[in-house]
Amino acid sequence: MPRKVIHLFLLTIATVFSLSQVGAAPAKGKPNKFNYKEASKVQPLNQAPEQPLSLWYNQPATHWEEALPIGNGRLGAMVYGGVSKEIIQLNEDSIWAGPPIPEVKENVMSTIDEVRQLLFDGKYVAAQEKQQSVMVGRISPRSYQTMGELRFDFGAIEQVSDYRRELNLDTAIATTEYTMNGVHYVREVSSSPVDDVIAIKIAADKRGAISFNASVGREGMFTTKAKGNDTVIATGQASHGKKHLGVKFATVYKVVAQHGSTEAKDGLLTVKNADSVVIYIAAATDYNANDTTHPFTHDLAGKCDTTISAAQKKGYAKLKADAIESHQELFRRVDLQLGSPSSKTTLARLQSYKKGEVDPNFEALFFQYGRYLLIASSRAGTMPANLQGIWCKDLAAPWNSDYHININMQMNYWLAETTNLSECHLPFMDYIERLVPSGQKTAQDLYGCRGFFAAHASDVWHGVVPFGKAQYGQWVVGGAWSTQHFMEHYRFTEDKEFLKNRAYPILKEASLFFLDWLVEDPKTGKLVSGPSTSPENKFIVPGSKATSNITMGPAMDQQIIWDVFTNTLESAKILGVDDEFTRNVQTALNQLALPQVGSDGRLMEWTEEFKEKDPGHRHISHLYGLHPGRQYNIYNSPEMVTAARKSIDHRLSKGGGHTGWSRAWIINFWARFMDAEKAHENIGLLFKKSTYNNLFDKHPPFQIDGNFGAPAGMAEMLLQSHAGQIDLLPALPQAWADGSVRGLCARGGFEIDMAWRGGKLIAATVHSKQGNSCTIGYAGTTVELATEEGKSYDLFDLNSK
Ligand code: FUC
């Protein structure tokens, strides 16, 4: 193997092993039931759908990562668009395998003191060994799971013509259509946020032309039974080989056929010679998010029946219209126009893009796909989007498809406020609040600290104990990082009630923890966090070949704590709180160690200039203060921004950005550096290296964070507001020379519309939602704008001011 290839190979191996991933590869020799081979000959329509915001294809999906996702926040499905057969893989957002939950080991605090001393003495290996000895094990698999599949068999079909499958992002409907023997068939699949069902409509333009068998299946603890001649009831419980008994669920599938006949038997629904068919799918579980130890006891199948009866009574046409209206209320808030629409299929566009074709319109489609996916996986009242949103075909998913809060889950929500989906942000914050009680208890039991904390990952059972390997597990700022979202939600909405009742209380809890957790570094007298890691990077211990992860005061911890303290003080000020607690926070903030710049000009990841074991590491944690934090920006700390830039140059020169989410983060960094071309180059690399055919983000395997992180970066390229002013088009690349955007949001309660030609702004309108004043910057000039609530301000002549 050439050296470069060997290096990449080793890097890949190292990545795979260091990630402690639980793979979900099918057993050897067993065909992968999520691959699909179309038996009929398919002649495509090869015509783009009318709605340019669509993903569309000339062939059915051949594997899961080509299927098309739909969802109402809670119920999701992946639609293959097969002809002779069809697979619709289904999810519900609370189906998780269950306890045990990692528990606290006793006497950890004395060990922590010992480990701190070892670290201050530079005995990194001994410190890591000691720390590892008090870590509890990772429980895996104990995964988020699929709800099952509905598999259609339409019989032997030799050939079809005019085939097309598409996902219309504007209506949230996946449609498959084709013509067979002169009959045109149209199949629509959608998930209604209004009626809480998945609806599958099959129509034909000739009477009596629809016949099929549809079977309901799933592995694991699962049974099906028929009810009447049109319904299958499936019940199950998430588990792993009958261990980790978790959430119980019921799914009801009801077929409603116009004319023809229906039959239900075991797990099979049969329809013969119908004119049209609708299948309603409802699901219920016993998961009780607010008290996970007391699952609901209601009749799950009965609940589904009630839901389906209501949906059926409403009728498909109205159900569809209501679902579209609800979706569009969110989706249509932002419009982004770049380049020109294409007549090519999504697959052909992706392939051409990979070969170097410039296609900004495709980038805009990807941006809107990110917004679509957030609406589909995270709506007010649902569970938050996990590592796969809600789309998961496995029983033992990669990383359990859990809630990783050492970047992934936060990244899922980076686009929520800026791209006008503030309501979709709420499930994340609801979830983080549900971690607080266990975070408080664990802080006391484990460390004798007040307040709340959470480590690098959790799940629906709300455990926060640091678990697994110290290299990723010994990290106590996951909850703290998440509190940033509360403050940002306030900054965008200016909702004072939210600030008072939700943001300030959780920031206070996070601050309390750090007031007790931080210790003085004997060398500097500054307050440092630790033992902790810089997720999930490793350094070479000075004077040896050994590696270690844990130190005192890694840059990311210190920057997150800076963020928590400053957010706490800012919100206290707005709320008029000035007490002993806020004074203590201010004192600790004054004494907090902050990251330094190393002798090579890079922003330091640790307090010493360690040599990195993996200099191209995917986490770029020490740049938190630049993004998603707001500690360093080009106006207030150009020297830190320069150092951060050197750090990222170094990372990239050593192979950085090799996972989808890492690349997505990099786009955001370049946007904050206001380096348009670099930001755009990394969008390109994301498409080239880390995007599946259905435009799902590729870690690999599929992980949804990049689908959200990259559009968030694109929004940052067009509009920024974290640095005390609103910057218009701060990082507009040449490829986006002409375009327009409507509805992006800025902190302070503003919505902005812009148009530009030849790289220059030609129109800008500011809609003021709260009547605040703001400073608007464009191309080196600024204007002050005093506004009135509800009024819009046209800034088209900004350039001349
Ligand atoms: C973080 C990352 C991994 C992966 C996992 C789910 O720990 O380091 O790459 O994304 O989360």
Q: For all residues of the chain together, what is the average pLDDT?
A: 95
Residue among 703, 705, 707, 708 whose CB has most ligand 1 atoms within 8 A, to mutate: 703
Q: How far is the CA of 69 from the centre of ligand 1 (A)?
A: 22
Q: What was the pLDDT predicted at 438?
A: 97
Residue 25 per-residue DSSP state? P
Compute the distance between CA of residue 667 and CA of residue 344 in angstroms, rounded to an integer: 26
Tokens of 465: 């104990």
Counting Cβ atoms within 10 Å, is residue 752 exposed (0-12), middle (13-18) or buried (19+)?
buried
Cis peptide before 531 (omega within 30 of 0): yes
pLDDT at 734 over 70: yes
Count of alpha carbons within 13 angstroms of residue 486, beta-carbon side: 31
pLDDT at 95 over 80: yes
Cβ(678) to ligand 1 under 6 A? no
Q: Which protein residue has the closest C-alpha to ligand 1 atom 10?
A: 408
pLDDT tens readout for residues 540-561 = 999 999 999 999 999 999 999 9
Cβ(699) to ligand 1 under 6 A? yes
**Letter string b/e over residues 6-21, b meaning 16 or more CB atoms within 10 A of that residue's CB:** eeeeeeeeebeebeeb
Cβ(659) to ligand 1 under 6 A? yes
Cβ(91) to ligand 1 under 6 A? no
Cβ(387) to ligand 1 under 6 A? yes
pLDDT at 625 over 80: yes
Mean pLDDT of 51-65: 98
Cβ(405) to ligand 1 under 6 A? no
- Ligand 1: nearest atom to the Cα of 15: 9
Q: How far is the CA of 15 from the centre of ligand 1 (A)?
A: 10
Q: What is the pTM of this model?
A: 0.96
Mean pLDDT of 97-122: 92
- Ligand 1: nearest atom to the Cα of 387: 6
Q: What was the pLDDT predicted at 796?
A: 83
Q: What was the pLDDT predicted at 27?
A: 57
Mean pLDDT of 586-601: 98
Q: How far is the CA of 527 from the centre of ligand 1 (A)?
A: 28
Q: How far is the CA of 96 from the centre of ligand 1 (A)?
A: 20
Compute the distance between CA of residue 573 and CA of residue 560 in angstroms, rounded to an integer: 20
pLDDT at 375 over 70: yes
pLDDT at 9 over 80: no
722-727-728-729 Cα dihedral, nearest 10 degrees: -80
Compute the distance between CA of residue 485 and CA of residue 503 in angstroms, rounded to an integer: 9
Residues 6+ apart with CB under 8 A from 719: 418, 726, 727, 728, 729, 730, 741, 744, 746, 752, 754
Is the Cβ–Cβ distance between 471 and 18 less than 8 Å?
yes
Q: What was the pLDDT predicted at 106?
A: 78
Mean pLDDT of 167-196: 98
Residue among 19, 534, 661, 705 whose CB has most ligand 1 atoms within 8 A, to mutate: 19
pLDDT at 19 over 60: no
Q: What was the pLDDT predicted at 495?
A: 97
Mean pLDDT of 60-83: 98
Helices (H), 462-599: 470-473, 478-493, 496-498, 504-517, 555-575, 580-591
Q: What was the pLDDT predicted at 3?
A: 42
Cα 450 to its chain centre, rounded Å, is 30
Residues 6+ apart with CB under 8 A from 126: 118
Cβ(399) to ligand 1 under 6 A? yes
Compute the distance between CA of residue 142 and CA of residue 101 in angstroms, rounded to an integer: 10
Q: What was the pLDDT predicted at 799?
A: 45
Interior CA angle at 631 toward 628 and 635, to 5°?
A: 105
Is the Cβ–Cβ distance between 418 and 719 less than 8 Å?
yes
- Ligand 1: nearest atom to the Cα of 398: 6
pLDDT at 669 over 50: yes
Residue among 388, 399, 401, 406 whose CB has most ligand 1 atoms within 8 A, to mutate: 399
Mean pLDDT of 670-692: 98
Q: How far is the CA of 19 from the centre of ligand 1 (A)?
A: 6
- Tell me the β-bridge partners of 614: none
Q: Over pLDDT 90: what percentage of the chain? A: 94
Q: Which protein residue has the closest C-alpha to ligand 1 atom 6?
A: 399
Q: Which protein residue has the closest C-alpha to ligand 1 atom 3?
A: 19
Residue 636 per-residue DSSP state? T
Q: How far is the CA of 405 from the centre of ligand 1 (A)?
A: 9
Question: What DSSP letter does each residue of 74-136 carry, written as one string?
Answer: SEEEEE---SSEEEEEEEETT-B-------PPTTHHHHHHHHHHHHHTT-HHHHHHHHHHTPB
Q: What was the pLDDT predicted at 20?
A: 38
Tokens of 303: 């609940």
Q: What was the pLDDT predicted at 26?
A: 52
Q: Which helix (H) or strand (E) holds 742?
A: strand 739-746
28 pLDDT tier (thresholds 50, 70, 90): low
Q: How far is the CA of 268 from the centre of ligand 1 (A)?
A: 39
555-575 vs 478-493: helix axis angle to the nearest 10? 40
pLDDT at 717 over 90: yes
Residue with token string 């019940």: 235
Q: What was the pLDDT predicted at 797?
A: 64
Does the CA dihedral 437-441-447-448 come out positive or negative?
positive
pLDDT tens readout for residues 482-538 = 999 999 999 999 999 999 999 999 999 999 999 999 999 999 999 999 999 999 999
pLDDT at 800 over 60: no
Cα 646 to its chain centre, rounded Å, is 28
- Ligand 1: nearest atom to the Cα of 536: 8
23 pLDDT tier (thresholds 50, 70, 90): very low
- Ligand 1: nearest atom to the Cα of 402: 6
Cβ(658) to ligand 1 under 6 A? no
Residue 607 per-residue DSSP state? S
Residue 384 per-residue DSSP state? P
Q: How far is the CA of 663 from the centre of ligand 1 (A)?
A: 13
Q: How far is the CA of 107 from the centre of ligand 1 (A)?
A: 29
pLDDT at 10 over 80: no
Q: How far is the CA of 21 from the centre of ligand 1 (A)?
A: 9
Task: Please state, in angstroms and as integers, the Cα–Cα distance from residue 203 to each residue in 185, 186, 208, 209, 645, following that order.
Answer: 6, 5, 10, 9, 56
